[in-house]
Structure 1
């Protein structure tokens, strides 16, 4: 193989081998039993579980099914969510830590059961999961986490090596975890939902929830209304916050993935380094061949170095574990997830007063099991069933959260970036743009974002995020405008890619004769 090159375009490999059905937008008012907003793993799994119980379900997706975080995952099915159990025991207690583990293992087992029962061809495979350290600091942390495993009766071992060209201090295994192809699995569930009469609408943006004599009404951007007994907000960031202040109780984090073909058989297992920055390794199948998925390099959305620098760092990691020139990068993509203050997702009633509006968010990059657990928990609430994990994941637990200090730290960080964005000074003229470059300019003293596309056309938008007024930054890898405060993302033409923002960035007409200045952000943030 020749010297490996990083692909120009971001493209998750999962879509190449999956025929995902498409659906028409909603064009009329409806009444249903349950309306689900969001067509990722949580929304689709919840729709499957409820339709199997003859509940009338309507699912609304703002863009297309599986096009969000679910379609950009590395698809590990595991309860080994980095170093977490020692922290949960210390801050939330033994019972909460044990229930968190059981909830995620139950989710893994539910997926295993559905794959087996329906014979879903989705590359489901049991694998042991490993955390590994390369420094003395994290060696000690893994030893403490191993003690937490022992206290919680989690099957795992502390080990001295892993089968890669990486010098480690130690590694912590968790037995009998799994991996799969998420889109093949969920596309099969979509077919089962349709067989039971579930209705699905794409290109349908939900913007609000209203009360209607005890029922809830989802209002779409196009003015259509869906009335239901329950609303399940499964839209990554809740499309409706109510009075829950969720944008102040979570922060968004991006990470990166490469699909790599190498002249080296995969040795088995799923791996994650715990030193910073983290790096992930797992096997996958692509076009019938065994490949590696290499991930990591996480950071807060809208903050940090230029996006391509993270891909370059992943490539350097590949150079370490493979022989140089003996691997090929097939695809690369990035993903985003939300992290709560105490690391446990929010799943349940949006507020204590709105028991028929349920949310599921904050999966901390472990959405395959957390999302499946959330779907099961919400469906049990709708069906009136007892669920042992209801209190652990309750969004209202914030009132007793021991991480209150972190609440203020995160919001101070958001305030810092809000002020920083307002004070930037441009340094370069817009005429210096090369094709496929973007950055900040000033027009009549106002901050604007500009992007010159590959054909030379310039697109200019207002850079003030429509959520809470922070200033967005240019992401050259995804050609998007990303908010460093709450993680909203916009296309270069201003359209909303990810919430909590609901309204596009305002567009601005471009006239080359005007004396625009360009802030030197072409290499990223």
Structure 2
């Protein structure tokens, strides 16, 4: 498959630069019953860092992934390691108070140090570099928001600085800079830690799906079951699988919403002055540099939207391309990719016991696009909970919290949005027929009088699926840029053949006439 861009055009297919420039180990499927101290579910950055800390504390750990490790959200990040999470501190100050807001900053600063220390300890080559991070306003409206954030920095005594001008060529009304932040190649970092985990006796199992099931025994142990019927007996279980593998009775999908965002890697025509940048409004624009084959590239990200909203997703890439071309010029676009992030109703991650009824099951989710630091926060916090150590961030991140403002408002809006999608998808008028599809086109179609999803591949074969989400029955929409079926209710995603890509769904879509259009 030729995916090379020419004359600065977008690649035909999405591909993560991190995945393409790193080699990852592979592991076998779990095909027997096992025992361990801690079962970590999910082989991304959160799961690997958690396993690493627990092994350092002397625990026996097994890491279970439904697909392949390091092939989900972690592969599609912009990989900024920073405590500057947009307009977070003014919100925290308003809704959580001064002490909690300051703790949030300190937790993320500790996470930066944790990552830096592990890189130094294991001598990991992963393009780690300290950078200044800039949050800037590109309009008068954004400037007012940025001034409120700056006031929060002052009240919290955060070491930010106000600057009027930026070195990069973007429209700016002012910016807050946080010095000594960082960036790296996430998969090179995590592949090295994976080797360390294996050396210490950690076990990895890939292509192993767990049921939403956890039996608590009289002796305090837990039993988890795989879809193939094997048992994992453990003292503790950690859900580090983006969306929790164990929902504790339907709590989390009502308190999280999914958003997609996009990135392109460009070879610029103009020199780049360094630093990491993000604006404080919409449409979001994020910039950082990286090295690719000995040359500098810029990663330009943004254009977020709620998952499953039926718009032309390829336009999201095109808008990033236009922005990059206007600011630094483009010689080539070697990669484009998108990612999915979960956001809590108060925008602070859920890290801790999944519910009070299940004290030995822990969750880390809702990182709101800042997973490089919050994954490290999660690893240390959850390891402390498991080993009985005090952690001063426990209350701030506890999943059981509920801040009346803004949680109540956001929960109401979120559930109303889900109800709307449940209804509108069922009554949508569909006029396109399977025969109308062009090669490499996907769409909702009318098939045998009912709504269906169809994608015609490059050979002319049509892949037909039932577009009813296997999670809670919402109707899926076609994602043109990623060739996937996305759910607007809770963010589940499926490939064009109906296989689950992202949860909370765990069951594939029903396939309809899989040989439609095939040569006889």
Taking structure 1 as the reference length, the TM-score comes to 0.95
Could you say what secondary structure the match of 1:431 adopts?
helix
* Residue aligning to 1:151: 155
Task: Name the CA shift for 1:350/1:188 in 2 (closer, same or farther; >3 Å).
Answer: same
Whole-angstrom CA distance in 1 between matches of 2:515 and 2:196: 53
1:18 paired with 2:22, answer yes
Could you say what secondary structure the match of 2:94 adopts?
helix
* Residue aligning to 2:209: 205
Aligned counterpart in structure 1 of residue 398 of structure 2, from 389, 394, 404: 394
1:329 paired with 2:333, answer yes
Aligned counterpart in structure 2 of residue 379 of structure 1, from 378, 383, 389: 383
* Residue aligning to 1:440: 444
* Residue aligning to 1:520: none
Task: Name the CA shift for 1:304/1:433 in 2 (closer, same or farther; >3 Å).
Answer: closer
- 1:133-212 matches, within 5 Å, as 133-207=137-211, 208-212=213-217
Shift of 1:115: 0.8
* Residue aligning to 2:44: 40
- 1:256-335 matches, within 5 Å, as 256-303=262-309, 305-323=311-329, 326-335=330-339
Whole-angstrom CA distance in 2 between matches of 1:512 and 1:138: 51
Shift of 1:462: 0.6
1:474 paired with 2:478, answer yes
* Residue aligning to 2:90: 86
Whole-angstrom CA distance in 1 between matches of 2:43 and 2:224: 16
**Is the 8 Å Cα contact of residues 54 and 196 (structure 1) preserved in structure 2?**
no
Shift of 1:15: 1.7
**Is the 8 Å Cα contact of residues 414 and 485 (structure 1) preserved in structure 2?**
yes
Whole-angstrom CA distance in 1 between matches of 2:478 and 2:434: 15
Aligned counterpart in structure 2 of residue 74 of structure 1, from 53, 57, 78: 78
Task: Name the CA shift for 1:234/1:458 in 2 (closer, same or farther; >3 Å).
Answer: same
Whole-angstrom CA distance in 2 between matches of 1:195 and 1:319: 46
* Residue aligning to 2:234: 228
**Count of equivalent residues:** 511
Shift of 1:300: 0.3
Whole-angstrom CA distance in 2 between matches of 1:67 and 1:511: 29
Taking structure 2 as the reference length, the TM-score comes to 0.96
- Runs ≥4 in structure 1, deviation > 3 angstroms? 399-402, 510-513
**Is the 8 Å Cα contact of residues 381 and 393 (structure 2) preserved in structure 1?**
yes
- CA offsets 1:372-426 (integer angstroms, 9 cap, x no match): 1111111111111111101100000027665212101111011111211111112
In terms of mean alpha carbon deviation, does 246-255 or 298-307 score higher?
Answer: 298-307
**Is the 8 Å Cα contact of residues 438 and 476 (structure 1) preserved in structure 2?**
yes
Task: Name the CA shift for 1:227/1:99 in 2 (closer, same or farther; >3 Å).
Answer: same
Task: Name the CA shift for 1:496/1:94 in 2 (closer, same or farther; >3 Å).
Answer: same
* Residue aligning to 1:521: none
Shift of 1:3: 3.8
Whole-angstrom CA distance in 1 between matches of 2:47 and 2:7: 42
* Residue aligning to 1:519: none
Shift of 1:511: 7.5
**Is the 8 Å Cα contact of residues 477 and 488 (structure 2) preserved in structure 1?**
yes
Whole-angstrom CA distance in 1 between matches of 2:53 and 2:281: 38
In terms of mean alpha carbon deviation, does 154-163 or 195-204 score higher?
Answer: 154-163
**Is the 8 Å Cα contact of residues 75 and 368 (structure 1) preserved in structure 2?**
yes
Task: Name the CA shift for 1:402/1:292 in 2 (closer, same or farther; >3 Å).
Answer: closer
Aligned counterpart in structure 2 of residue 9 of structure 1, from 13, 17, 41: 13
Whole-angstrom CA distance in 2 between matches of 1:210 and 1:442: 43
Could you say what secondary structure the match of 2:414 adopts?
helix
**Is the 8 Å Cα contact of residues 432 and 446 (structure 2) preserved in structure 1?**
no
* Residue aligning to 2:463: 459
Whole-angstrom CA distance in 1 between matches of 2:405 and 2:470: 29
Could you say what secondary structure the match of 1:6 adopts?
coil
Aligned counterpart in structure 1 of residue 348 of structure 2, from 328, 344, 350: 344
- CA offsets 1:34-84 (integer angstroms, 9 cap, x no match): 000000011000111111122110100111111010011000000100111
**Is the 8 Å Cα contact of residues 244 and 350 (structure 1) preserved in structure 2?**
no
Whole-angstrom CA distance in 2 between matches of 1:351 and 1:130: 37
Task: Name the CA shift for 1:508/1:216 in 2 (closer, same or farther; >3 Å).
Answer: same
Shift of 1:2: 6.8
Whole-angstrom CA distance in 2 between matches of 1:41 and 1:397: 25
Please, what is the CA RMSD of the aligned residues?
1.5
Task: Name the CA shift for 1:55/1:470 in 2 (closer, same or farther; >3 Å).
Answer: same
Whole-angstrom CA distance in 2 between matches of 1:2 and 1:329: 8
Whole-angstrom CA distance in 2 between matches of 1:510 and 1:49: 46
